[in-house]
Structure 1
């Protein structure tokens, strides 16, 4: 059964930095995609292979806006992993950016109430972990507040209105399945999380910087 809390978090995710091999190319891609003001980029040649264990998800207003974002990404060089389509929960699609980061763009609306926009309602960092319950408790111990929790399958943390991104946990294999990719991977996650507290690494090796 889901549980929900409404208290404010004493710590939060304040930024997401993607580590990319080609910094100039990544800047061009994310500018064309339309999220360049919501993420940071850092040059890195740290080895990584397969599924990096995370994805970034955008929630938007309607199917036409989903298509607009996905089309912009594909035109800029992204590879579609799951074509945008209707589902029981709404409409959405998944793609891999040229730097390897996986993105999901979705809406709960099944019909458009207006023309496509380039507005983003919410951005969520989804990280795949070995043990959702243990990692949830780890983050609670770091000062984050649980907003939603579905047993050992999913947990989402509260974020202040000023935060550009929310943090959510999935089972590693469950997230890979949701994204349409093999679960195997090794090496660096190629992502660094910025927080309001001290630097640390979580149970699955995701690094936070102060």
Structure 2
């Protein structure tokens, strides 16, 4: 079941103004706890947090993926997430494409940490090379056309399986599309889910919602999450 949101209906590409991804907001039930987790995990400068009690069950239809330099750095980020309260969905391991693992934050957001390197060329760091927001969608080709029509530039496209867009000038997160069931399988979770996605994309135009229920609103600037003591 594809998730629904209560945001505004889909805006057609032919009448939409140009937009770009400027921020990503995760909706959480416990804002203070989420601030502590994302600070400890080391990704608090990449996402915004907002308190919300929106109903959500099962797979929320997206993941945030970190690309890092090597296996030791993958392990360091996974360990930091687990120490801060995350659950391991897929232990970090080698694969055909490199090395990576999947964790779920206490708020329910799924994060993938990966590298294309199979061997370390140096010690572990806390540096992130790239953050990608992967939206799980029913029809990659149609959603790619929709976003291209709104002004996003396609940089990679693999038929109806995957599409990637150029990052916005002000956003530290890149947007990409993946088949919903394929994404769930890659993350090691069932594809079914209901309720809110619990994520909002900040854009540079008026609010809209895509065909898979992912809501966009006027962007807010990314800033580091405050510490628990602040």
- Taking the aligned partners of 2:140 and 2:157, their CA distance within structure 1 comes to 10
Aligned length: 201
The alignment status of 1:197 with 2:214, answered yes or no, reads no
Counterpart in the other structure of 2:135: 127
What's the TM-score, normalizing by structure 2?
A: 0.86
Counterpart in the other structure of 1:70: 78
Q: How does 1:21-170 map to 2 (within 5 A)?
A: 21-160=29-168, 162-170=170-178
Q: Structure 2: any 5+ residue segments left out of the alignment? A: 1-17, 219-230
Per the TM alignment, residue 178 of structure 1 is displaced from its structure 2 partner at its CA by 0.5
Q: 1:197 to 1:94 in 2, by over 3 A?
A: same
Between 1:31-40 and 1:153-162, the stretch displaced more is 153-162
Per the TM alignment, residue 196 of structure 1 is displaced from its structure 2 partner at its CA by 1.6
Per the TM alignment, residue 169 of structure 1 is displaced from its structure 2 partner at its CA by 0.4
- Taking the aligned partners of 1:163 and 1:45, their CA distance within structure 2 comes to 26
Shift >3 Å, 4+ stretches: none
The alignment status of 1:207 with 2:219, answered yes or no, reads no
The alignment status of 1:20 with 2:40, answered yes or no, reads no
- Taking the aligned partners of 2:152 and 2:45, their CA distance within structure 1 comes to 24
- Residue deviations 1:155-195, cap 9 Å, x none? 00111454200000011100000100000000000000001
- Residue deviations 1:44-77, cap 9 Å, x none? 0010000000000000000000000000000011
Aligned with 1:178 (options 179, 186, 192): 186
Per the TM alignment, residue 197 of structure 1 is displaced from its structure 2 partner at its CA by 1.9
Q: Structure 1: any 5+ residue segments left out of the alignment? A: 1-9
**Higher RCO, 1 vs 2 (CA within 8 Å, ≥6 residues apart):** 2
